[in-house]
Amino acid sequence: MSTTTTASVGESSAKSKGFPRQIQYIVWNEACERYSYYGMRSILVIFLVQYLMLSKTQATADYHVFAGACYLFPLLGAYISDRFWGKYKTIITLSLVYCLGHLFLALFEDSQTGFYWGLGLIALGSGGIKPCVSAHVGDQFKPDQKKELKKVFDLFYFMINFGSFFSTMITPWTLEAYGPAVAFGVPGILMFIATIVFWMGRNHYVHVPPTGKNPHGTGRVLLSAIKNMGKGKGFFGGASLDHPEQSVEDVKAAFNVGKIFIAVTIFWALFDQHGSSWVLQAKEMDLSFGYFGIEALLPSQIPALNPIMVMILIPFFTFVVYPGVEKVTGYEMTPLRRMGIGMFVAAASFVFVAAFQYALDGGNKISVLWQVIPFLVITMAEVMISITGLEFAYTQAPRSMKSTIMSMWLLTVFFGNMITAYIAKINVFEGGNFFMFFAVLMAVFGLVFAWIAKNYKMRDYMEKGA
């Protein structure tokens, strides 16, 4: 299979400066898709408790199992994309599965079995397209467009939060006013629109072809490495006995990136709780608002703070914080430094939430507006870790491993949510101790990340010929 990048009609008009014209279809598709995803997810834990009558611990666990599954299926999507279908066909096909899942949610509001089938289809569709969409964005840029690539990942993340903000504000209200069928149906319609928008750009995309079946793929290289470990050549040195050096180097690069991602797992164990345990905490707080004619907020609307803060903090960090820190300290704010600092910031957010929970457990009624503080802190951590991680994953991935390494990044979210689901399920930590446990855990893994990152050597794998 040729490794030359193929492009459709629009490629020849792409310029080295500015975004390629086809980016508009991808980012608006992402805004609609994220509206649909975060819209249904914003009301999920409340729906499970109030409509399906699950306990808080069971609802929290199920919420995180679903969220985790959405980040497990990227492995399947990446494999299909890299080896057989290519990114475009994978995205279109699994987007239709995604739409079907939303239809199930709307139809089976009274059936836990049917509803959970819908969640499964959404996890398959949403998870399957995740590594392909972000890698597809990167494929649209040429090697001399590194600055534009960084900006488009910022724009990409901005559009994610643009859709997330409006869906998190509107969908809980829709649930209260019109019931679950409409509340889950509207995000499904937005997902179908997202699919149409992406399809409209089909003749303009740069299409990097799949590699096809690979006798020197990741699994085969790792098996050879294990088989030849005892031959005195080291782990990957043993693999070179059976495979080309480039194939071994590609897998070695993925392995090294994977070590960096280990500590990031714990960040997601914390971050995704702003849609579950933080919402349930808000339910115990004083929800009266009294501003702009709003008498009270719904608990599931509070997480809308996150996307609106992201949209503000992205340009602030890009143009003020990072350049300011570099100017004052003389240290370059490299991706690994940004991510490392972000982990300790994330830990601090849970210290605040734990303090609020201790107050609530003590019988004090406190305003939900206090949650603005931890939301601001966790969003700062998100900007430093999540956006940077997308950029890091793409630039550190060899061509044959682009979607695979993107899926490895997303897999950290799966393991993080599984950790949270397990801790919630066994119910060992109660009240404020639950949140303080995660704060300490994040701080410890922040130190682990710093130790691993210290020995990591940055590489440049910008797509040649894109």
pLDDT for residue 6: 41
pLDDT in tens, the chain (466 residues): 333 344 443 443 434 457 788 888 887 888 788 889 999 999 999 999 999 999 888 999 999 999 999 989 988 888 888 888 999 999 999 999 999 999 999 999 989 999 999 999 999 999 888 878 877 887 887 777 777 777 777 777 777 778 888 899 999 999 999 999 999 999 999 899 989 989 998 888 888 888 777 776 777 777 777 777 666 556 666 666 677 777 777 887 788 888 888 889 999 999 999 999 999 999 999 998 766 555 678 899 999 999 899 889 988 998 999 999 999 999 899 999 999 999 999 999 999 999 999 999 999 999 999 999 999 999 999 999 988 887 787 788 777 777 677 778 878 999 999 999 999 988 889 899 999 999 999 999 999 999 999 888 887 665 443 3
Q: Is residue 442 part of a domain?
A: yes
- Mutual orientation of helices 245-271 and 432-454 as an angle, nearest 10°? 160
Structural domains counted in the chain? 1
Rg (the chain; Cα; Å)? 22
Helix (H) or strand (E) holding 259: helix 245-271
Cα-based distances in Å from 389 to 120, 177, 395, 408: 26, 38, 10, 11
How far is 137 from 157, CA to CA, in rounded Å?
Answer: 12
pLDDT for residue 286: 92
CATH code: domain of residue 181: 1.20.1250.20
- Mutual orientation of helices 56-69 and 402-426 as an angle, nearest 10°? 170
CA dihedral 92, 208, 395, 220 (to 10 degrees): 90
CB 57 within 8 A of CB 427: yes
- Name the phi and psi angles at 286, rounded to 5: -75, 110
Q: Is residue 229 part of a domain?
A: no
DSSP string computed for 81-110 = IIIII-HHHHHHHHHHHHHHHHHHHHH-TT
- Name the phi and psi angles at 335, rounded to 5: -55, -45
- Mutual orientation of helices 112-139 and 23-42 as an angle, nearest 10°? 150
Q: Which of 394, 392, 410, 390 is nearest to 402 (CA)?
A: 394
Q: Is residue 11 part of a domain?
A: no
Q: Is residue 365 part of a domain?
A: yes
457: which 2 tokens? Answer: 């050597």
Residue 367 is given by DSSP the state: B
Q: Is residue 247 part of a domain?
A: no
Q: Is residue 3 part of a domain?
A: no
pLDDT for residue 282: 94
The DSSP bridge partners found for residue 367 are 286
Helix (H) or strand (E) holding 6: strand 6-7
How far is 239 from 289, CA to CA, in rounded Å?
Answer: 62
The gap between the terminal CA atoms of the chain, to the nearest Å, is 17
CB 452 within 8 A of CB 259: yes
Q: Is residue 233 part of a domain?
A: no
244 Cα distance to chain centroid: 33
H-helix segments, 108-179: 112-139, 146-178
Q: Is residue 236 part of a domain?
A: no
Instruction: Dump strand ranges (E) for 260-378.
Output: 288-291, 294-296
Longest CA–CA separation in the chain, Å: 74
223 SS3 class: helix
Structural domain span for residue 176: 24-208+259-454
User: Is residue 290 packed enough to be buried (19+ CB in 10 Å), middle (13-18) or exposed (0-12)?
Assistant: exposed
Q: What is the value of pTM for the model shown? A: 0.79
